């Protein structure tokens, strides 16, 4: 390889390093800019979200004050109560246990099972103690 070729190759390598160095610094600059934009957008989004939440709370509060809403809410409660009473009556007429009846029975069974297990343990303990003496 001639000295001129070596010099040319060296210049090419140096130019490549310069381009890579400028690319790296440009890339870092773009990253910083994107981070700054992201923070700005997050702040705007948070501010907008807080504003929307504030408006929604105020709208709910105003809605609850509305006489029509109050009347509808009372009607909803009345209808719910009547449906529950009707369901209980129907279940009673068909002799089907309601959910609350089943839950009450389940609680009682659980209590009885615990007591039975305690009695069985006590019986085993007493029975083993008597055989070893």
Give mean pLDDT, residues 16-33.
82
Give mean pLDDT, residues 91-96.
84
Examine the pLDDT at 133 and tell me if it is beyond 50.
no
The contacts of residue 87 (CB under 8 Å, 6+ apart) are 98
> What is the pLDDT, as a whole number, of residue 87?
86
Q: Would you place residue 1 in the very low, low, confident or very high pLDDT band (cuts 50, 70, 90)?
A: low
Query: Three-state SS for 66?
Result: coil
With 0.85 as the threshold, say if the pTM is over it: no
User: Whole-angstrom Cα distance, residue 133 to residue 128?
Assistant: 9
> Nearest to residue 105, comparing CAs of 113, 116, 94, 117?
113
């Amino acid at each position: 390889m001639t000295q001129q070729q070596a010099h040319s190759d060296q210049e090419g390598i140096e130019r490549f390093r310069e381009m890579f160095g400028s690319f790296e610094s440009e890339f870092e600059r773009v990253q910083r800019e994107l981070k700054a934009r992201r923070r700005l957008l997050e702040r705007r989004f948070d501010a907008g979200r807080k504003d929307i939440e504030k408006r929604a709370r105020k709208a709910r509060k105003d809605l609850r004050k509305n006489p029509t809403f109050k009347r509808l809410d009372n009607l909803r409660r009345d209808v719910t109560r009547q449906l529950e009473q009707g369901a209980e009556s129907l279940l009673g007429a068909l002799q089907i246990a309601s959910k609350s009846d089943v839950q009450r029975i389940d609680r009682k069974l659980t209590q009885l099972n615990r007591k039975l297990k305690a009695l069985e343990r006590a019986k085993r303990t007493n029975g083993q103690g008597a055989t070893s003496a």
